[in-house]
C-alpha cells in the first residue's frame, strides 16, 4: 500500500503546491487572461468580416449606380425612338388623308425617312453604348 500511496500522495502534493503557490486568484487570473485572448481573436475576426462586407457593399452600390445610368440612357433612347415613330406615323396618316391618290408616293417617302431615321438611331445607340463602357 505504501507503493501505491506514494505516487498518489506525490500528485496531490504537486496539485496542492500549485494551488497553494499561486492561490485561487492566480488560477482565476490565468483563466481570465486566456478568455481575454480568445475574445480578442474573435473580435479581430468579426472586425475583418465587417470590413470585407463594407467593401463589398460599396462595390455593389457603385455597380448599381452605373447600371442605373445605363438603363436610364437606354430608356431615353427608346422614348426618343418611340416619339419619332409616332410622329412619322401621324405624318403618313395626315398626308394620306389629305391626298389619298398619292398614297403610294407618300408611303415610299415615309419609308425613305424611316431608313434615314434608323441610321441616326444606330449612331445614337452606338454613342450611348460607348458612353456606358466607362
pLDDT along the chain (134 residues), means of 10: 60 60 66 77 89 96 94 88 90 91 91 90 79 57
Range of the domain at 9: 2-132
Compute the distance between CA of residue 91 and CA of residue 86 in angstroms, rounded to an integer. 9
Q: What is the pLDDT of residues 75-89, one digit of tens each?
A: 988 898 899 889 989
Compute the distance between CA of residue 72 and CA of residue 7 in angstroms, rounded to an integer. 85
Q: Is-contact 92 106, C-beta < 8 A? A: yes
User: What cell does 82 get?
Assistant: 418611340
Task: Give Cβ neighbours of residue 52 (< 8 Å, ≥ 6 apart).
Answer: none
The number of folded domains in the chain is 1
pTM of the predicted structure, to 2 decimals = 0.51
Amino acid at each position: 500500500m505504501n507503493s501505491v500511496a506514494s505516487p498518489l500522495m506525490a500528485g496531490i502534493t504537486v496539485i496542492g503546491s500549485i494551488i497553494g503557490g499561486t492561490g485561487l486568484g492566480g488560477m482565476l487570473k490565468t483563466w481570465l487572461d486566456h478568455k481575454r485572448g480568445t475574445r480578442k481573436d474573435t473580435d479581430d475576426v468579426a472586425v475583418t468580416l465587417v470590413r470585407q462586407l463594407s467593401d463589398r457593399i460599396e462595390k455593389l452600390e457603385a455597380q448599381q449606380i452605373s447600371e442605373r445610368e445605363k438603363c436610364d440612357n437606354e430608356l431615353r433612347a427608346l422614348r426618343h425612338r418611340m416619339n419619332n415613330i409616332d410622329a412619322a406615323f401621324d405624318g403618313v396618316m395626315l398626308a394620306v388623308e389629305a391626298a389619298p391618290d398619292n398614297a403610294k408616293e407618300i408611303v415610299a417617302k415615309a419609308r425613305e425617312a424611316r431608313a434615314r431615321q434608323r441610321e441616326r438611331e444606330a449612331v445614337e445607340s452606338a454613342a450611348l453604348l460607348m458612353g456606358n463602357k466607362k
